């Protein structure tokens, strides 16, 4: 009996020691991770980085990742330049505008791309149920919701209006967060909206209609956004930049191969219904950046007066 009791006590002590060692190992591993904060927009575009964090793609490369939501690309650019974020996710127009203005920024990886399907892309110009507007050519003088002014929404909506034969110069853009747009359309605060998923499906489930696929109208397989950092980070922490870039690329590959996990993870950082989750139209997540499409955005941005001077793509793109 005594021997049995002693053996049991020994097992308990060994288990306790092993548990303590496991806790210490985890604590040591956590202490060795480099903490970084990344500015993102709570839309479907950034599903890969959320999946990558959950799957350990960043932790396995020594990165303790925090993701911070912002309304659009412009405040994320400011956050990276100001040191609030080590890396950021931003649409290409905001990055081109920042580069043209002299900001020391550098893209490190592709972010998201149009799937190229007219009427079935993850981005669209929409109107509410019962709207008399039937074509993008009728948007002249109308109030159009975009998430940020002088950004990708402006550029691509104008291009859809041009392609439909309308006047792109007298559009009335109204800035608001994507989740606010369905309500603004229903209440008549705006006449139309530029939306991306999951807001697009939220609008469509309320009877909204698609006027145009603005990304498809702008360029074939448009590279919509990029992950980026500052030149200072690239110079001072090149190993971290390499690790982050590798983790992002693995995350993009994983998202492209696991669409159902994309649908699930979007619900962890946005408020969506099951109907919207199932209905969402997915973008493309290629690893390669489509440079000709970004050149097209740069040309349109210059035509629309968004840039202070012509952007230099070689200084921005990797």
pLDDT reported for residue 31: 61
Total residues belonging to the chain: 318
Tens digit of pLDDT for each residue in 250-294? 999 999 999 999 999 999 999 999 999 999 999 999 999 999 999
- Confidence grade of residue 30 (pLDDT, cut at 50, 70, 90): low
Contact 88, 237 (CB under 8 A): no
**Angstrom distance (rounded) from CA 117 to CA 286:** 16
pLDDT reported for residue 308: 81
In the predicted structure, residue 17 carries a pLDDT above the cut 80: no
Nearest in space to 241 (alpha carbons), one of 115, 62, 69: 62
Tens digit of pLDDT for each residue in 150-163? 999 999 999 999 99
**Residue 113 corresponds to which tokens in the numbers above?**
């791309």
Tens digit of pLDDT for each residue in 178-206? 999 999 999 999 999 999 999 999 999 99
Close Cβ partners of 23 (under 8 Å, ≥ 6 residues apart)? none
In the predicted structure, residue 28 carries a pLDDT above the cut 70: no
pLDDT reported for residue 22: 45
Cα 58 versus chain centre, distance? 17
Domains and CATH numbers, the chain: 29-114+222-306 (3.40.190.10), 123-218 (3.40.190.10)
- Cα Rg of the chain, angstroms: 23
Mean pLDDT of 89-103: 96
């Amino acid at each position: 009996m005594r021997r049995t009791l002693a053996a049991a006590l020994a097992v308990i002590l060994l288990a306790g020691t092993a548990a303590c060692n496991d806790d210490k190992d985890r604590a040591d591993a956590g202490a060795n991770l480099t903490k970084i904060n990344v500015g993102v927009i709570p839309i479907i575009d950034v599903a890969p980085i959320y999946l990558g964090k959950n799957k350990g793609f960043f932790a396995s490369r020594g990165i303790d990742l925090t993701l911070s939501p912002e309304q659009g690309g412009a405040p994320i650019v400011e956050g990276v330049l100001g040191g609030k974020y080590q890396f950021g996710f931003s649409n290409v127009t905001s990055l081109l505008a920042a580069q043209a203005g002299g900001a020391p920024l550098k893209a490190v990886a592709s972010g998201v791309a149009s799937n190229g399907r007219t009427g079935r892309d993850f981005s669209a110009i929409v109107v509410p149920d019962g709207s008399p507007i039937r074509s993008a050519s009728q948007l002249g003088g109308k109030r159009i919701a975009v998430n940020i002014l002088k950004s990708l929404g402006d550029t691509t909506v104008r291009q859809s209006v041009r392609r439909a034969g309308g006047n792109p110069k007298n559009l009335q853009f109204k800035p608001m967060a994507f989740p606010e747009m369905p309500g603004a359309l229903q209440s008549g605060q705006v006449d139309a909206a530029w939306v991306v998923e999951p807001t697009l499906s939220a609008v469509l489930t309320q009877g909204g209609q698609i006027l145009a696929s603005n990304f498809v109208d702008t360029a074939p397989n448009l590279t919509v956004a990029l992950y980026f950092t500052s030149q200072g980070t690239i110079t001072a922490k090149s190993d971290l930049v390499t690790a982050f870039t590798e983790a992002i690329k693995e995350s993009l590959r994983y998202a492209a191969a696991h669409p159902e996990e994309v649908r699930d993870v979007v619900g962890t950082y946005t408020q969506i219904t099951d109907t919207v989750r199932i209905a969402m139209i997915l973008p493309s997540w290629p690893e390669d950046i489509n440079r000709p499409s970004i050149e097209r955005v740069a040309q349109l941005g210059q035509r629309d007066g968004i840039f202070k001077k012509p952007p230099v793509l070689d200084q921005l793109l990797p």
